[in-house]
Amino acid sequence: MSFDASSARGDLILTRITKEYGDFKAVDDLTLTIPKGSFFALLGPSGCGKTTTLRMIAGLEEPTVGSIHLGETDITTTKPYQRPINTVFQNYALFPHLTIFENIAFGLRRRGIKDVDAAVNKVLNLVELPHLAGRKPTQLSGGQQQRIALARAIVNRPALLLLDEPLGALDLKLRRQMQIELKWIQKEVGLTFVHVTHDQEEAMTMADTIAVMNEGQIEQMGSPAELYDNPETAFVANFLGQSNLIKGTISGNDGDSIIADLYGQKISLPKKRSHAVDNSIYAGIRPEKFRISLLNTPVSGNVLSGGHIEDVSYIGVSTQYQVAMPWGQELIVFEQNDDGVAPFNKGDAVNISWEPIFTFALRGDEDVTAGSEVNPEVLDEE
């Protein structure tokens, strides 16, 4: 019955995976390759199918259609206990009747590994909790339980480590600290991590590659910088950070650039950042890429004029402005507080400008609110 883990090493390949529960498609024709040794994040709102995907990789669910390969080995129907894959569960799922030591030793003992003590102590040192070996899980804080859950999984040196919202139950400060530690541990042990989260900041901090999931499909996949700077859909543009999306039409070409008309004002944007299929577009600009200037100040790059400062919020490192434009849209602008003074006041007539290379273009028939009304703090089980 034992599974030859040595042959099942390598990239994880999901091929045309679909998972149906009755009429509901939790995962819809998903194809994905997760390279060996990477820190990969599946990011999306509650109910997008990311946890279902993770459970299929772990073997806790079986796909309705499709196959899962680990390296050359087909593991689609392999039982969880025969897969060289371990999971850090959302609420840790530590064994309450066993000591911390025995919790960590559980997987090693099942596989009949000889030197359990050394392996457990080594991983306890890695998570910096060697003094807790004799305790029971209920005697530990949430952050400590989280580390033990991680230790219990990585002590087995799996081909793949799955993390299901591992930091969801921790407070913000501890979450930040654990993000950095997880990333460090991943580098240290050199395992493939697949991390499921609804928290875009968490995904961006830790992952090499992020797949943004929505309604059972992958919306876009890439490095955090690629996804942030060049989102292909309104969902990605809104779910990862904030975006200003302005309706317009393509009016011409200029070398590598596209000239677009936004409510009568001409702007340019790089061709390779346009995901439009026809002349109708939404031009997208991140709030921190905008610059605000008073009417008589000379500006370079793309300019949209006729704005009025509608609201000013001082946040500390930056100031957030809401600028009302002539066509009735309010744009959001983040200005760094370099000189420590908020230089614009409510009611000021201003122009907005930005470098053309920071512009991206989405299809004009997109739902501009997609991904923006999702409350990432809502943590329901999928």
Partner 1 sequence: MGKIRTPYLLLLPGFLFLFTFFILPIVNLAQTSTQTPIAGGDTGQYEQTLRFQNYIDAFIENREQFSRSFVYALIATVLALMISYPLAYAIAFKAGKYKNFLLVLVVAPFFTSFLLRTVAWKQILGEEGFVVPTLRTLGIISPSTTLTSTAFAVVMGMTYNFLPFMTLPLYASIDRIDPRTLEASGDLYANAFTTFRKVTLPLSMPGVVAGTLLTFIPAAGDYVNAAILGSPNTKMIGNVIESRYFKIVDYPTAAALSFTLMAAILILVTIYIRKAGTEELV
Which residues of this protein are in contact with partner 1, per CB under 8 A?
1, 58-60, 79-82, 85-87, 89-91, 93-97, 106-107, 110-111, 136, 152-153, 156
3-class DSSP assignment, residue 19: strand
Nearer to partner 1, 63 or 287 (CB): 63
d(CA 278, CA 44) in angstroms, rounded, equals 28
Burial of 154: CB neighbours in 10 Å, binned 0-12, 13-18, 19+: buried
The torsion angle over the Cα atoms of residues 89, 381, 138 and 170, rounded to 10 degrees, is 80
Question: Hey, CA dihedral for 272, 356, 320, 324, is it positive or negative?
Answer: negative
Burial of 365: CB neighbours in 10 Å, binned 0-12, 13-18, 19+: exposed
Q: What is the maximum span of the chain, computed from C-alpha positions, in angstroms?
A: 78
Q: Name the strand (E) or helix (H) holding 137.
A: none
DSSP lists the bridge partners of residue 349 as: 308
Q: Phi first, then psi: what are they for 62, rounded to 5°?
A: -110, 135
HSE-CB of 165 using CA atoms within 13 angstroms: 22
Nearer to partner 1, 86 or 244 (CB): 86
